[in-house]
Each structure stands twice: as C-alpha cells, then as structure tokens.
Structure 1
Amino acid sequence: MARRKDATRRPWLLPVGAVLAVSACSGPTVINTGEPHTPIATSAPRPTLPSYTTNAHLATADEFYATSGDQQAYYFTTPSGRWRCAIIPHAQAGCQAAGAATLPITGAPTAVTRADGSQVTPKALVIDRDDDAQFVAAEDDPFVLQPGPAATLPFGTVLAAAGFRCNVQEASGVSCGSEASGKGFTFSTDGYAAIYTDVPQ
C-alpha cells in the first residue's frame, strides 16, 4: 500500500532528459552589469551646400565659359585682380595668385608632396568633386585663362556651374565648393578654411 501511495503522490516528476530539453528551449540569460547603455554610432550626414530661394545672387555662367588651350572651363578673376580661378566641369574648382609662383595666403604650406614623393611649392588651392580641399602644385596654370584676362566675378555674386559654385566676398574672400560632396574652401591673404562660405541670402 505504501508503495502505491508514493507513486500517486509524485506524478509531476519528469525524466532528466525532458528537464534539460525544457531548459534548453528557454531564452538566453540577461546579465545586467550596471554600465550605461551606449547606442551604436551612426555616420554623420553628408554635408550639403546651401540651397537658393532666389536667383538674385547667381551669375550668368555662360559669360565665364571659355577655352584655354585644350581645356574648356568657367574662368573668372576676382575684383582685385589678385586671383585667377576656374571651375573645370565635373572635375574641380580652384584658384591661384595672378603672376605669383607661390600662394600669398597666411598659413598656407610652403611645400606639398607629389605622388613620386618629391616636395614642390603649391601654386593653387583646389576642391575636387569628392575630396577635401587641398593645396597643389597646379602645373600649366589650369585655373588661368590663356590668353586672358577672364571675366571679373563681382562681389556677392555666385558662379554655379557643372557641379561646383564659387563666389567672392569682401569680408571672407574667395570661396568654392563641390555640389556633390558639400566640401569646399574659403581663403584670403589672411588665411584659409576648408569650408564653403556662401553669400548672405
């Protein structure tokens, strides 16, 4: 009788294998270490150049389009006549000092490294379609209209053409930027910055 009573009292006991199977089906154990939650870093949004609500500041691009040697580009001279610049369609925009072998920009490097490792004096400041602004040797004066001079880009006027835009302002100097990357440069004889500075709207 006692044996029968024990058998009826423990119907809930399961074989060991069944217990392990139930344990394996439960989810992973969460361990709280007490450290603060750190969200996964996301890439910063790509910079963009300002959009225009009016065409009041835009130059007529055709007035600056010219052929120099075998290159067709949008060439301009600053109102002071000190700088020669160009937008080379869908490739780059850049400026160099008129008649100067070096760039008279405070803080500009005195030498840059070529692909072959040699050191050369930079003659131009350039923004490519996708890269950061950089100082380059600029052989053959690609930003100077030959024969020139190129048309003057007035203060506060934006030359926007072929994937780039450039302007000249009395307060900040010359600025060019890439429409594709949002990157650019701004410079004057007092210094430079790797950012495009738009004219006030």
Structure 2
Amino acid sequence: MSDKGVLAKIARQPVVVRLWSDHTLHLFAADAPGAGAPDTLDIRINDMAHVERFEQTEPWQSRDDFIAAARQRIETGTSLLFSVAHADGPLLGFGIAQPNARETLYTHVGQRVLWPERTATMFGGYIHPMARGRGLHTALQTARIHYLVGTLGMRWVVSAVVSDNAAALASAGKTNAHPVAILNTRRRLGRARMTARRLDPAFDAKFVDAQQEDAAA
C-alpha cells in the first residue's frame, strides 16, 4: 500500500475526522422537468420485477438486504425507486427519490437542511460494474427529475455530491440541475465550524446548523 493510501485511510478514521478534517458537500437542484431519459432505456418506477434481478457486486450491499429495503420503500410509499435493467439480464442501475421531503441530515458534513415546500431529494444511485461508463447514472438522474417535476409537480429536485467524487459531480453537470449551495464542515481539535454558501438566491432551503456565507465570498 502506498504512503498516500495509508494516509488517506488514517484520515478517514472516525477519531481523526472528529479532531481534524474538512468535508464539503455540493447541492444541485433542478426546477424544470428537462428532456428526461432516452426512450430506448427501460426505466421503471417501483417495479419489483426489476428489483429481484439485483446482483450483489459490493460487500456492503447483499441481495437479500437490497430486495428487503426496496420492498419496504415500495410498500410504505416513503420513496420512489427508479431502476433500469437489461432485457434478459441483471439490474443495471437504480436511484431513489423522496418527494415532499421536509428535512435531510447530511452525515458527510453533519448538517441538517430544511426544505421548502414541494422539494424532492435524490439519493442512493448505483450502477452495476458491467454497465458503468454508458451514461446510465445520468439517465437515471434525468428520469427522476423529469418525473418528479413534470408529473408530481415538485418545485425543486435536489441531489448532494461530496467534493472528492469527480464522476458524480460530472454526472450532475450533465442534467438540467444547477449548483445551488455548498456545505462545508471544518474540524480542528474537535471544534467544528459549519458554513453554508447559497449559490442561487431563489433556492430558499434553510441551513439550520451552519453559518451562512455570501455566495460571492
């Protein structure tokens, strides 16, 4: 393992994070439905036939756990699961949306955000390794935005991306969402300074745990 790898692993340890760390989260939001995903993709909403074709490709997500969680979301109506699958193969990707969200705690920065009325949040995006690099993550994002704004009448559709996830930042930039805020938490010897920079004045979410900074600062 390289020195860089060792240092990066140490920096992620909870005790180090609490003592000395900088975490940044970018919020993107869309307020128009956009063009949606290509018609050639078989994107479905809350479809258990798709869900049951899930294959475990990561140690943190077992097949049984994923199916159980998806079934609970669908049955309780707490959120919507968008999925895309190969005609006769496995589930290629999925993404989750929560319409009419009231607040979200973003654990990456330890900050809560209170949402204005008719706000939906997007999270949980994942693409099967065999399907990566084909634009499916972006397609699932555009499909969610199109449905949430165009069909459900959401005013905002919000997604959050950590600062070091270059692929997710690039994907968000390919949709009709635009940057609306940057959340940052800086910890030094256990003391945290939380800030929120609003980039779009029309985006009227409330950053209840952070000091708000001028977008021009």
Q: TM-score, normalised to structure 1's length?
A: 0.29
More helix by share: 2
Larger RCO, structures 1/2 (Cα 8 Å, 6+ apart): 2
More strand by share: 2
Bigger-Rg structure (1/2): 1
Q: TM-score, normalised to structure 2's length?
A: 0.28
